[in-house]
Structure formats: C-alpha cells, structure tokens
C-alpha cells in the first residue's frame, strides 16, 4: 500500500456507499427470486452486492440450479421486471437517502481539491445521483454500459482512475461489496471497505459504517497500516 500523501483521487461505488439504495436492489431481487422459486439467503444477497444486472440474475438462477431453465429472451424480461420493481422503490428517493456523513465527506474531498469519480455498476446511477443532488461533486463517471466485464473484474476501477487522468496508486476506491473490493484490489488501488469487516476482509482499510468515513480517519488508518 502506498502513502496517503500520494493520493489524488477517490473513486466511489454508489449503492450502499453513498446512497441507501442497496436495500432497494436487494428487495427487488428478492421479489424476483420468489417469482422464479429460488430461496433468498443472506449469502446470496451478499454475492449479488455490486454485481451488474444480468450477472446478478444469472447468480440467482444458478443458486437454484435453474440456469438452464430460461431462454436469453426470458432472462432479459426477468431482468427488466427486476428493474421495474427497483424503479418503483426509487420513486420517493431524495437527499434523506444519502448515507450518514457521505455528503460531508464528498464535500470535504472537493474542498481539498481531490478528484472524484464514480464506478457504479448501475445503469440507474445518473438518476440516483440526480435525485440526491450530488452530481456537482463528480469530475467524471464510468459508464457501466461501456464495460467488457463487470465487478469483480478490475475494469471499472481501472477506468475510474483513467477518467480522472490518475494512476491507480494515486486513487482510493470505496465499496460496500466483496465484488467491488476485489475489483479495486485488482486495479492496484487502495480499497476502503464499508460494512462487516469479516465479509469485506480483503479490503486494505475497513469502516463499519459510512459515518466513520472521513479524510482524517482514512489518513490515520493508512498511517497505522504502514506503521508511519
Ligand atoms: C450495483 C448494485 O451498484 O448495481 C447491484 O450494487 C445492482 O445491486 C447493480 O444489481 C446494477 O444496477 P442496475 O441499476 O443497472 O440494475
Ligand atoms: Mg455497492
């Protein structure tokens, strides 16, 4: 892990890091799992976190040994149904759904002239950022529709640094999902895991919730880790 002084940019996941929307994704997938007769477990919910729409559907079907039961066309319509369920749940989305401390943290980064990009797998991320009135803080965004591979592949976090014209070692990525931490680590950036440290045990730094995520806490966690 490099030094805190080297850091010039922060790359954010959205759902479950900035916005309280991962619970809505989970709810909508749970509805879909019920529909196709696959049991919903905490383990399945954790596997889906951060993973793109089609990959998520495939994981659900696989967990119920149903991966060969649907044609591509039927799968596309199931994924669309999940998205409709999700959009219903987003209808009342507003600033109250920004996770504790995150607007202040992003504001602080901006005030300290760090560059900020978005590395969300969600095709709904522009809509969510808009509803939360946070677009203004982002210097760049990775469009998940342009990716060859979704999280846990490193591609989205590699691009998250490129769109800021930064090297990976100059960036910190923030994630609530195992797939996201794997992606950040594979990209050669510093990973900050937000959530259960036993689940996010591959992260360079852990915080149990967003209220602990501050520049000061990141700096001291990195210094502690490097013993400086
Ligand atoms: C991620 C969420 O940010 O985006 C996943 O953590 C979701 O739960 C994925 O499946 C894709 O989102 P969307 O909105 O494009 O279906
Ligand atoms: Mg997330």
By the 8 A CB rule, do 218 and 205 touch?
yes
pLDDT band (50, 70, 90) for residue 190: very high
Say if residue 226's pLDDT is above 90: no
The reply to whether 154 and 211 lie within a common domain is yes
Could you give the C-alpha distances from 47 to 36, 82, 93, 135, in angstroms and in order?
A: 18, 17, 25, 28
Q: Which SS3 state, helix, strand or coil, does residue 20 take?
A: coil
User: Measured from the CA of 120, which atom of ligand 1 is nearest?
Assistant: 3
The reply to whether 113 and 221 lie within a common domain is yes
| 15 known member of a binding site | yes
Which residue range is the domain that position 38 belongs to? 22-90
Q: Is the pTM of this model over 0.85?
A: yes
One of 15, 133, 139, 209 is an active-site residue; which one?
15
Residue range 44-76, pLDDT digits in tens = 999 999 999 999 999 999 999 999 999 999 999
pLDDT band (50, 70, 90) for residue 2: confident
User: Measured from the CA of 123, which atom of ligand 1 is nearest?
Assistant: 15
Question: In the listed set 73, 90, 107, which residue is the last one of a domain according to the structure?
Answer: 90
Residue range 75-113, pLDDT digits in tens = 999 999 999 999 999 999 999 999 999 999 999 999 999
CATH code, domain with 170:
3.40.50.1000
Ion ligand 2: protein residues whose beta carbon lies under 5 Å: 13, 15-16, 50, 176-177
Strand partners, 190: 172
The reply to whether 34 and 11 lie within a common domain is no
Mean pLDDT of the chain: 96
Name 131's Cβ contacts closer than 8 Å, sequence gap at least 6: 90, 93, 94
Does the active-site annotation cover 55? no
Percent of the chain with pLDDT over 70: 100
**CA pair distance 180, 67, nearest whole angstrom:** 24
pLDDT at 120: 98
| 164 known member of a binding site | no
Domain count, the chain: 2
């Amino acid at each position: 892990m490099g030094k805190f002084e080297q850091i010039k940019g922060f790359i954010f996941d959205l759902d479950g890091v900035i916005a309280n929307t991962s619970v809505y994704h989970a709810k909508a997938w749970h509805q879909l799992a019920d529909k196709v007769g696959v049991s919903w477990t905490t383990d399945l919910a954790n596997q889906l976190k951060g993973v793109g729409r089609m990959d998520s559907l495939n994981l659900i079907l696989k967990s119920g040994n149903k991966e060969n039961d649907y044609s591509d066309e039927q799968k596309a319509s199931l994924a669309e149904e999940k998205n409709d369920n999700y959009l219903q749940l987003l209808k009342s989305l507003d600033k109250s759904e920004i996770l504790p401390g995150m607007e202040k943290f992003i504001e602080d980064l901006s005030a300290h002239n760090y560059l900020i990009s978005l590395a969300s797998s969600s095709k709904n991320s522009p809509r969510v950022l808009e509803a939360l009135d946070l677009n203004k803080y982002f210097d760049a965004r990775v469009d998940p529709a342009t990716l060859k591979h979704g999280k846990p592949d490193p591609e989205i976090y590699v691009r998250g640094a490129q769109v800021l014209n930064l090297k990976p070692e100059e960036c910190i990525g923030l994630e609530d999902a195992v797939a996201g931490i794997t992606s950040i680590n594979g990209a050669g950036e510093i990973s900050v895991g937000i959530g259960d440290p036993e689940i996010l045990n591959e992260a360079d730094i852990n915080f149990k919730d967003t209220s602990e995520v501050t520049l000061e806490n990141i700096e001291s966690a990195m210094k502690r880790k490097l013993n400086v």
